[in-house]
Amino acid sequence: MPLRDVPVPEPGPGDVIVNVKAVGVCGSDVHGFTGSTGRRIPPMVMGHEFSGMISAVGEGVTGHKPGDRVVVQPIITCGQCANCLAGMPNICTNRSGVGMMRRDGANAEAVRVPEQLLYALPPEVPWEQGALIEPLAVAMHAANSSPIRLMDTVVILGAGTIGLLTLLACRLKGAGSVIVSDLSPHRLEVARQLGADAAVNPAKEDLGEIVRKHAGPAGAPIVIEAVGITATAKQSLELVKAGGHVTWIGNAAPTIEIGMQQIVTREITVRGVYAFNVEFGRAIEAIRAGRVDVTPIMEQIVPLEAGPQVYHDLAKGTLDAIKVVLTP
């Protein structure tokens, strides 16, 4: 993970150059750095959660100009496949993304971005909070895709950035008791600060008993898995009630081992969710209007030069910060 000088990007037709003001370090980027998921192909510049100011525009750009404050929705879609035409561009069959696959991203002073990915960043939203809009949109999509009824008990497995933002999103949707599980005492404490009714370390407490205390003996109607490994995927099926709904948002392991009969015989609905659709614009408004406060999750704001060490420390597990934001 070296820090290098590279040529300043030039805008092509329909592109803008964004001077990056803040970029979040995503767990998927750390997994890309370690090579555990295969979703980042080096050599490349990562970084897809970012805000900044336009410094240059290419031919054909009419809706934006230098000096505009923007936040970038990083998924590039074709607009023509069946999924795009059906209103599901997040699962476009031809998708790529800024800071993903082989396209350079925002862990840099400047990045080239297609104009259609830009959203205006309201002046009252600081740059660093702008870098949290993308993960908040992911969390809001998970909550949107889960059939949460007013005052339902919701269990969230994983108290990383996405898990904690999903806690806030479920509150917006009307959840009652929200139980968050994680092995990190620090992350569980932040979950409590954000309003979790119970923050449970399953290595030290009986998570099933606590869920049944809040939801009743049948289990929880909604469980959201925000880790993406076999252990928590299995746990999600054990905690949900028969006929209940499990949402998998975690994406750490490429494959997991799961008990199919448990899903079939208890008629459990399991749904995967990826990225976001309409939620990106709603995430901007949620932060602007003060409906969601993302500041407790931003635990380190450091210069771009500190990025290589941050990635190494997160990959080794010696840094337990929930969200690190780099400021080129």
Sequence spans of domains, the chain: 15-132+294-327, 137-272
Cβ pair 248, 272 in contact under 8 A? yes
* Contacts of residue 274, Cβ cutoff 8 Å, sequence gap at least 6: 90, 91, 251
Judge if 15-132+294-327 and 137-272 fold alike in CATH terms. no
Indicate whether 80 pLDDT > 90.
Answer: yes
CATH fold for domain 137-272:
Rossmann fold (3.40.50)
Could you tell me the pTM of the whole model? 0.96
258-313: per-residue pLDDT in tens?
999 999 999 999 999 999 999 999 999 999 999 999 999 999 999 999 999 999 99
Angle between helices 207-215 and 230-239 (to 10 degrees): 30
Q: Mean pLDDT check: name the lowest of 93-102, 154-163, 215-224.
A: 93-102
The pLDDT of residue 251: 87
Residue 83 corresponds to which tokens in the numbers above? Answer: 């999924």
CA distances from 76 to 98, 115, 117, 222 (A): 7, 11, 7, 31
The pLDDT of residue 37: 74
Omega cis (within 30) before 43: yes
CATH of domain 15-132+294-327: 3.90.180.10
Cβ pair 217, 209 in contact under 8 A? no
Give residue 91's identity as a one-letter amino acid code.
Answer: I
* Contacts of residue 152, Cβ cutoff 8 Å, sequence gap at least 6: 174, 175, 176, 221, 222
**Where does the pLDDT of residue 145 fall: very low under 50, low under 70, confident under 90, or very high at 90 and above?**
very high
The pLDDT of residue 102: 83
Count helices and strands in the chain by DSSP H and E runs: 11, 15
